[in-house]
Structure 1
Amino acid sequence: MPDLTPKAEQTRRVILDAAMRLFRRDGYDKTTMRAIATEAGVSSGNAYYYFGSKEHLVQAFYDGIQQEHAAAAEAALASSRSFADRLAGVFDAWLTVAAPHHRFAGQFFRNAADPASPLSPFSSESAPAREASIAIFERVVAGSDLKLAPAVRAELPGLLWMLHMGLVLFWVYDASPDQDRTRLLVSRAVPLVDRLARLSRLPVVRGVVDDLVGLLAALRTEAP
């Protein structure tokens, strides 16, 4: 969509906020575009002008969360060159930004888990949010004290994003108070990732690392 006027951007925001309220109250599947338009106080045609479908609304939500995450991660990225500190700070920033949405995150995940769904984090529709997230992990690596082989450094941001997706899945199902188990997972997993990344330079494991890099390259080449 082209750049919007301030009034149009406000209307778009009103529609998105109305959709989020209904998704929380009635669930994603039961919420219709007509209901969203009524909640927002606009016509159905106006709602469809800004968002072609419910999936487009969720994509806008993803993009907004990603922007909030990038802003929240700045402090961690600016305060330390320690790879472990930077990675933990970025994960913690996401948990803080996502916390208000935990109650209804499972509703989105039911649809996102379908590989054919445009809501899948691996879909072409999700590419902007996915690429923005990987860019954060590129900054984690690039500004850190890690010394890595060039091939490993090139792959690491994408691997960290995959780890992030696993963390999101764990968080979705985490029923502990304030999702404390997810924060515990971060505190225990980050030091392990830090050690594994540093071990990748040792000659005894270089062969395994090279095989992993080759596998990832082959998967990308053979992907449809």
Structure 2
Amino acid sequence: MTDETAPTTAAADRATARGEQTRQRIRDTAMRLFRERGYAQTTMRAIAQEAGVAVGNAYYYFGSKEHLIQEFYAQSQVEHRAAAAPVLDREKAFDARLAGVLHAGIDILTPSHGFASTFFKMAAEPTSPLSPFSAESSGPRDAAIELFAEVLNDSTAKVDDELRPQLPELLWLAYMGVVLYWVHDRSPDQTKTRQLIDGVVPLIDRLVALSRLRVLRPVTRQVLDLIRTLRH
């Protein structure tokens, strides 16, 4: 009795590998064209032509340019975690870990600075699927918050017990503020963004440490109550 499943499985594996290669080629081509031409000026037809695939094939893998940006978010988050790994492996102090992760995020985004302002304007629209707060962005957002949880959990920081579960999301929101500043930063090599990170991290570190003081606990509770209210 012959085994007829092996060739079928092998063929399926080859088809899957080819499909993933095509998907990656379309994604990489789109990112290059976004950087060269800008987001608004790049069409799905141009992406397909440059990637050497039919327009219908491009739409098969990515339903729209917005889906490609979601892929950009997801890939950027994977690269952010990889770039942050050395500092997280090396450092235990909360401020050093946080600074390293924030700088790593800007390192990853830097090649896209030229076109970032275009699509971030769309991302600022509350109903846009490109918004980092949208349901469509939940995967990369959750991954980013998990990274900031790692910054906190493996550090020597002493944090108020009630604040600790909420702090990773607050750190992600701070990172979003840094990214927004970076988008509009026209200083050479965005050096002002780096200065912002170096200036704000000690402040965050101090506030986190002070959160355990009894006199500041009512303020901490008010902040947390506000966050819970805004979530609903």
- TM-score, normalized by the shorter chain, greater than 0.5: yes
User: Alignment partner of 1:158: what SS?
Assistant: helix
2:82 aligns with 71
Aligned length: 219
Aligned AA (1:179): Q
Select 1:86's aligned residue among 97, 105, 120. Answer: 97
* Matched AA of 1:121: P
Match of 2:7 in 1: none
Distance 1:217 1:134 in 2: 16
Q: Which runs of at least 4 in structure 1 moved beyond 6 Å after TM superposition? A: none
| C-alpha RMSD of the superposition | 1.3
Aligned to 1:102: 113
CA distance in 1, matches of 2:41, 2:172: 31
Query: Structure 1: any 5+ residue segments left out of the alignment?
Result: none
Q: Does 1:159 align with 2:182?
A: no
Letter in 2 for 1:162: L
- Indicate yes or no: 2:26 matched with 1:15: yes
Query: Counterpart in 2 of 1:217?
Result: 228
Aligned to 2:46: 35
- Is 1:185 equivalent to 2:196 in the alignment? yes
| Contact 2:92/2:155, CA 8 A, preserved across alignment | yes
Structure 1 residue 213, shift from structure 2 partner: 1.4
Q: What secondary structure sits across from 2:127 in the alignment?
A: coil
* Residue equivalent to 2:65: 54
> What amino acid maps onto 2:17 in structure 1?
P
Contact 2:94 2:151 in 1 (8 A): yes
Q: Percent identity?
A: 54
Higher mean C-alpha displacement, 110-119 vs 4-13: 4-13
* Deviates further, 94-103 or 136-145: 94-103
Q: Quote the Cα distance in structure 2 between the aligned partners of 1:61 and 1:163.
A: 21
Does 1:129 find its partner at 2:140? yes
Shifted more, 6-15 versus 158-167: the winner is 6-15
Select between 122-131 and 32-41 the one with higher mean Cα deviation: 32-41
Larger radius of gyration: 2
Q: Is the Cα contact below 8 Å between 2:38 and 2:114 reproduced in 1?
A: no
Match of 2:219 in 1: 208
**Alpha-carbon deviation of 1:99?**
1.3
Cα distance in 2 for residues equivalent to 1:174 and 1:218: 32
In the alignment, residue 10 of structure 1 is paired with which amino acid? Q
Residue deviations 1:98-123, cap 9 Å, x none?
11111111111111111111000000
The secondary structure found in structure 2 opposite 1:150 is: coil
Looking at structure 1, the residues matched to 22 and 71 of structure 2 have their Cα atoms a distance apart, in angstroms, of: 14
CA distance in 2, matches of 1:190, 1:152: 17
Structure 2: runs of 5 or more not aligned: 1-12
* Aligned equivalent of 1:196: 207
Deviation of 1:24 after TM superposition, in Å, equals 2.3
C-alpha displacement of 1:79? 0.8
Please report the TM-score for the alignment, with normalisation by the length of structure 2.
0.91
Q: Secondary structure at the match of 2:162?
A: helix
